[in-house]
């Protein structure tokens, strides 16, 4: 069963009369319970790939399917409903408005149509507990460590019980131990909840527990590993060689 399918997707970058392909001929499937990582250096189109997967950007060629729904063919209200009910997005931006973290996580539920305050806050607290940061419920973003921010972002993405979780370079800058622990958590969540996870990473360590690892360079995807995650601390076996410029994946 396929949850997300990018079929021959391409996107042009335009500036004035100049146009070039930012992504070209991208084929990618994600199944329920599977973690797929896309490994790339900065400015290679990682966030753009996730925005295409979410239907936030329309491709210039190909199509994006979530289940049987072609995201490019949905009306604006239907697409907004898909974003609320089926997709979770975890990045590194954090909330504005001076919100406490419990209210930040609850905000996604409120936008998703839930209005009973006590029930919403209960679900938000459960999401924080699920990733181990319930102690951050009454804190503000500026009071959190980088580690806590990563877990709060995961909590808000999970709060609406999505089918597909999109993670945008969330582990960038964490230490080796924290990176490993979050990557294990993401895989555990995917397998236990039946989530499909598409995750972009700039550090090979962040991909150690993924079921499949792809490289994005020059607008195209290349398979690096599709044999499942190795044991913690073991170097990923990249059959096509380690991408240039990326650090070694051994635990430091």
CATH classification at residue 128:
3.40.50.300
Residue 143 lies in a domain: yes
pLDDT band at 109 (very low <50, low <70, confident <90, very high): confident
Quick check: 70 pLDDT over 80? yes
Range of the domain at 161: 4-225
The confidence band for 115, taking pLDDT boundaries of 50, 70 and 90, is low
* pLDDT for res 26: 92
Is residue 247 situated within a structural domain? Answer: no
In-domain check, residue 251 = no
Give the per-residue pLDDT at 21.
85
Task: State pTM to two decimals.
Answer: 0.84
Residue 139's pLDDT band (cuts 50, 70, 90)? very high
State the first-to-last Cα distance of the chain, in angstroms, to the nearest integer.
Answer: 37
pLDDT at position 172 is 85
User: How far are the Cα atoms of 84, 103, 147 from residue 97, in angstroms, in the given order?
Assistant: 20, 10, 21
Give pLDDT, residue 61. 94
Which run of H or of E encompasses 98? Answer: none
**Residue 244 clears pLDDT 80, i.e. is over it:** no
Please indicate, yes or no, if residue 246 is contained in any of the structural domains: no
Which residues on neighbouring strands pair with residue 28, listed in sequence order? Answer: 6
pLDDT at 208: 83
For the chain, the domain total comes to 1
Question: CA-CA distance, 203 to 151, in Å (whole number)?
Answer: 18
Residue 250 pLDDT level (bands cut at 50, 70, 90):
very low
3 state SS of 108? helix
Is residue 230 assigned to a domain?
Answer: no
In a domain, 58, yes or no: yes
Neighbours of 72 (CB within 10 A): 16
Query: Which phi-psi region, left, alpha or beta, contains residue 228 (left: φ > 0; alpha: ψ -120 to 50)?
Result: left
234 in a structural domain:
no
How many Cα atoms sit within 13 Å of 32 on the Cβ side? 9
């Amino acid at each position: 069963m396929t949850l997300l399918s990018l079929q021959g997707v391409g996107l042009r970058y335009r500036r004035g009369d100049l146009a070039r392909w930012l992504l070209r001929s991208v084929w990618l499937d994600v199944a329920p319970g599977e973690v797929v990582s896309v490994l790339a250096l900065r400015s290679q189109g990682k966030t753009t790939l996730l925005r295409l997967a979410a239907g936030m950007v329309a491709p210039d060629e190909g199509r994006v399917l979530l289940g049987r729904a072609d995201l490019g063919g949905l009306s604006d209200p239907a697409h907004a409903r898909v974003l609320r009910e089926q997709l979770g997005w975890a990045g590194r931006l954090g909330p504005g408005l001076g919100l406490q973290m419990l209210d930040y996580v609850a905000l996604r539920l409120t936008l998703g149509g839930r209005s009973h305050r006590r029930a919403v806050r209960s679900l938000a607290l459960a999401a924080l507990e699920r990733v181990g940061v319930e102690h951050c419920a009454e804190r503000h973003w500026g009071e959190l460590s980088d580690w806590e921010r990563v877990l709060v972002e995961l909590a808000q993405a999970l709060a609406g019980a999505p089918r597909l979780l999109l993670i945008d370079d969330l582990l960038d800058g964490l230490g080796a131990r924290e990176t490993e622990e979050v990557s294990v958590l993401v895989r555990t969540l995917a397998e236990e909840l039946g989530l499909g996870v598409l995750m972009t990473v700039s550090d090979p360590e962040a991909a150690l527990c993924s079921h499949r690892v792809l490289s994005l360079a020059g607008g195209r995807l290349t398979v690096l590993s599709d044999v499942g995650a190795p044991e913690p601390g073991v170097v990923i076996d990249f059959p096509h060689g380690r991408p240039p410029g990326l650090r070694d994946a051994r635990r430091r």
